[in-house]
Amino acid sequence: MSGARPRRLLTVCLGNHCRSPVAALVLGELGGRAVEVRSAGTRDKWVGHPAHTQMVHAAAAAGYDLTAHRGVHLNRGLLEWADIVLAMDAGILAVVRALAGEVTGTTLGPYLEDRDVPDPWGKEPAAFADVVRLIEDGAPRNLP
């Protein structure tokens, strides 16, 4: 596989403030040079902002540094860049499919095979830690 381009993964959640930044970080660290990972949100409220404070803490407790993250709004260019787009839940996947339209060569699907990654927004800190563990558990199925 030497000389092959890394697989481009795009993780997507609602605001690019909690779930998708952690998923991108986990996939990037576990996938190494075999992947290039970005994240985005379907809403633009958190563009340019750091990740949710509770998610930064939960990620750090699991050994991931999310402090450099800044929110990005999902756009067609990102969809065209990606080989695989991984949505954090069924609602996000529907929005991604609508935006993708005729984009070819990009696979769209859920991050987890059998369930949504729940949005921890507005919940207790334990919910953020649970999301980090769920994302870690689901990472291997999304890596080459």
Which of 18, 38, 89, 119 is flagged as catalytic? 119
Report the 10 Å Cβ neighbour count for 144.
Answer: 12
Q: How many residues does the chain have?
A: 144
The question of whether 130 is a catalytic residue gets the answer: no
Q: What are phi and psi of 91, to 5 degrees?
A: -65, -40
The question of whether 97 is a catalytic residue gets the answer: no
The question of whether 76 is a catalytic residue gets the answer: no
Which of 13, 18, 38, 89 is flagged as catalytic? 13
Residue 45 CA to residue 91 CA, distance in Å, equals 18
Which of 18, 19, 38, 89 is flagged as catalytic? 19
Report the 10 Å Cβ neighbour count for 7.
Answer: 17
Residues annotated as part of the active site: 13, 19, 119
